[in-house]
């Protein structure tokens, strides 16, 4: 009798463990639901110092959870361009300069294309967005949205963006994106700040906003990068249980620092314009981090595709000075907000490794590079069958009941 009572006690304790451990296992997910991947095109660490020197207060290096360093190069050059840089960050593949999300090897390229983080997010049912101060067909937004051989092929880039499944693509007006084609493809065509503000949750949109959206003081009808970023975040997160992936690019840090056409390295206007572009991007970073802090399940990664201008302090006054008119192979910073365990603080990594840090944090089992057949278009999975109101799935309860029955059989029989 005493023996049976002892066994019953053991059984009840086991039941408690099972019932208590089950919800804990559901809640023990420390991963992220959303990712905001921010790229300051051409932004080395000293570009932030230049902006501070020019009187701007810079937020992004103010106590991030982590600061690491990304090694940049392309498959065929020690110094990468923005197309190969975007491919490395989006697909985990080093390709040749000028190429966008295609393999560098010709034979492989004929049959296969590397999957981008945006496409993988779509396949997981997440909402997706691309926001830039560049043309929507620019190298960085295109590396995250299409697969083409040349960054100069704006027509193919735009056609692929329109036939893909990204929810929001916002940037500077691309002539190849005609309003009728955009609308036929199922996107709202946005031209002004008011159009953006009026956008409803669930609507797909293609923003074509006119030039100079990188500047700090804009005409009233133009949205800032910060506004585009904040609106995209708000639209992508509302009523969405599967999370979102958003790429945000400040393209004009590079555009103002890259003077390879006339070869001029350093002059006051260049320093002022680069500093302004850094501040514009930094405002968007702050908006993203503010959201992440409130949300609690959003990872924000801020990095660059390459450094531009070989910027470092020089001269009698140790002022930040450009020593190159073009891109360099210097390491660029990787700031992380919303995760303290993504890498060891201060770590140096290849630019191709960053996309797998995102994959891991989102709980994806896939690791990049991932090969798809040429022409593959990522589509969201079919909607799941409805589940019971907040209860655990029926399968779990049946399994639990089976364990209890088995335990009784073992105990008494
Ligand atoms: Zn670039």
Greatest Cα pair distance in the chain: 96
Which of left, alpha, beta for 252 (phi over 0: left; psi -120 to 50: alpha)? alpha
CA 37–ligand 1 middle distance (angstroms): 15
Local confidence band at 24 (pLDDT 50, 70, 90 cut-offs): very low
Could you tell me if residue 284 is inside a domain? Answer: yes
CA 12–ligand 1 middle distance (angstroms): 62
Could you report the per-residue pLDDT of 245-301, keeping only the tens digit for each? 999 999 999 999 999 888 999 999 999 999 999 999 999 999 999 999 999 999 999
CA 36–ligand 1 middle distance (angstroms): 18
CA 307–ligand 1 middle distance (angstroms): 8
Could you tell me if residue 78 is inside a domain? Answer: yes
Could you tell me if residue 392 is inside a domain? Answer: no
| Paired residues of 269 in beta bridges | none
- pLDDT at residue 404, as a whole number: 75
Local confidence band at 383 (pLDDT 50, 70, 90 cut-offs): confident
Local confidence band at 18 (pLDDT 50, 70, 90 cut-offs): very low
Least confident of 32-41, 50-59, 377-386: 377-386
Could you tell me if residue 71 is inside a domain? Answer: yes
Could you tell me if residue 328 is inside a domain? Answer: yes
Could you tell me if residue 25 is inside a domain? Answer: no
* Cβ neighbours for 47, distance < 8 A, ≥ 6 positions apart: 40, 253, 257, 274, 278, 307, 311
- pLDDT at residue 388, as a whole number: 55
What is the rounded distance in angstroms from the CA atom of residue 379 to the CA atom of residue 121? 10
CA 310–ligand 1 middle distance (angstroms): 14
pLDDT at 116 over 80: yes
Q: In this structure, what CATH number is given to the domain that contains residue 266?
A: 3.40.720.10
Instruction: Quote the domain boundaries for residue 201.
Output: 30-373
- pLDDT at residue 23, as a whole number: 35
Could you tell me if residue 141 is inside a domain? Answer: yes
Could you report the per-residue pLDDT of 166-213, keeping only the tens digit for each? 999 999 999 999 999 999 999 999 999 999 999 999 999 999 998 899
CA 118–ligand 1 middle distance (angstroms): 19
Average pLDDT over residues 342-354: 98
CA 224–ligand 1 middle distance (angstroms): 20
- pLDDT at residue 395, as a whole number: 55
Could you tell me if residue 397 is inside a domain? Answer: no
pLDDT at 413 over 80: no
On whether the CB atoms of residues 223 and 209 are closer than 8 A, the answer is: yes
* Cβ neighbours for 231, distance < 8 A, ≥ 6 positions apart: 196, 197, 199, 223
The bridge status of strand 168-172 relative to strand 112-114 is unpaired
Domain count, the chain: 1
- pLDDT at residue 1, as a whole number: 53
Direct distance between the N- and C-terminal alpha carbons of the chain, in angstroms, rounded to an integer: 16
Give the position of tokens 């958003």. 246
Local confidence band at 393 (pLDDT 50, 70, 90 cut-offs): low
- pLDDT at residue 26, as a whole number: 33
Least confident of 10-19, 277-286, 328-337: 10-19
Taking all residues of the chain, what is their mean pLDDT, rounded to a whole number? 91
pLDDT at 2 over 70: no
CA 171–ligand 1 middle distance (angstroms): 16
- pLDDT at residue 22, as a whole number: 40
- pLDDT at residue 88, as a whole number: 98
- pLDDT at residue 204, as a whole number: 98
- pLDDT at residue 389, as a whole number: 56
């Amino acid at each position: 009798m005493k023996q049976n009572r002892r066994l019953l006690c053991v059984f009840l304790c086991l039941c408690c463990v099972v019932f208590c451990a089950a919800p804990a296992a559901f809640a023990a997910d420390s991963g992220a639901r959303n990712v905001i991947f921010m790229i300051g095109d051409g932004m080395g660490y000293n570009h932030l110092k230049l902006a501070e020197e020019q009187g701007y207060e810079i937020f992004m290096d103010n106590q991030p959870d982590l600061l690491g360093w990304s090694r940049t190069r392309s498959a065929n050059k020690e110094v990468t361009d923005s197309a190969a840089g975007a491919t490395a960050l989006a697909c985990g593949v080093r390709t040749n300069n000028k190429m966008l999300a295609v393999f560098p090897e010709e034979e492989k390229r004929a049959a296969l294309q590397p999957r981008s983080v945006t496409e993988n997010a779509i396949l997981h049912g997440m909402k997706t967005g691309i926001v830039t101060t560049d043309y929507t067909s620019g190298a960085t937004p295109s590396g995250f949205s299409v697969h083409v051989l040349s960054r100069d092929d704006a027509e193919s880039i735009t056609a692929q963006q329109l036939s893909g499944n990204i929810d929001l693509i916002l940037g500077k007006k691309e002539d190849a994106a005609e309003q009728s084609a955009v609308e036929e493809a199922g996107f709202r065509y946005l031209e002004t700040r008011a159009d953006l503000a009026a956008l409803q949750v669930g609507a797909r949109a293609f923003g074509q906003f006119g030039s100079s959206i990188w500047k700090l003081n804009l005409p009233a009808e133009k949205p800032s990068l910060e506004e585009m970023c904040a609106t995209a975040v708000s639209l992508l997160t509302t009523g969405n249980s599967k999370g979102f992936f958003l790429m945000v690019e400040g393209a004009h840090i590079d555009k103002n620092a890259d003077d390879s056409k006339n070869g001029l390295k350093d002059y006051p206007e260049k320093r002022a314009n680069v500093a302004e572009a850094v501040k514009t991007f930094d405002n968007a970073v702050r908006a993203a981090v503010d959201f992440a802090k409130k949300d609690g399940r959003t990872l924000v990664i801020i990095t660059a595709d390459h450094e531009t201008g070989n910027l470092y302090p020089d001269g009698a006054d140790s002022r930040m000075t450009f020593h190159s008119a073009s891109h360099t192979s210097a390491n660029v910073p990787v700031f992380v907000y919303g995760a303290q365990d993504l890498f060891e603080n201060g770590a140096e990594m290849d630019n191709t490794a960053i996309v797998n840090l995102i994959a891991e944090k989102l709980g994806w089992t896939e690791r990049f590079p991932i090969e798809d057949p040429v022409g593959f278009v990522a589509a969201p999975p079919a909607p799941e069958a409805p589940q019971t109101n907040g209860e655990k799935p029926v399968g779990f309860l049946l399994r639990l009941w089976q364990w209890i029955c088995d335990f009784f059989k073992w105990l008494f029989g």
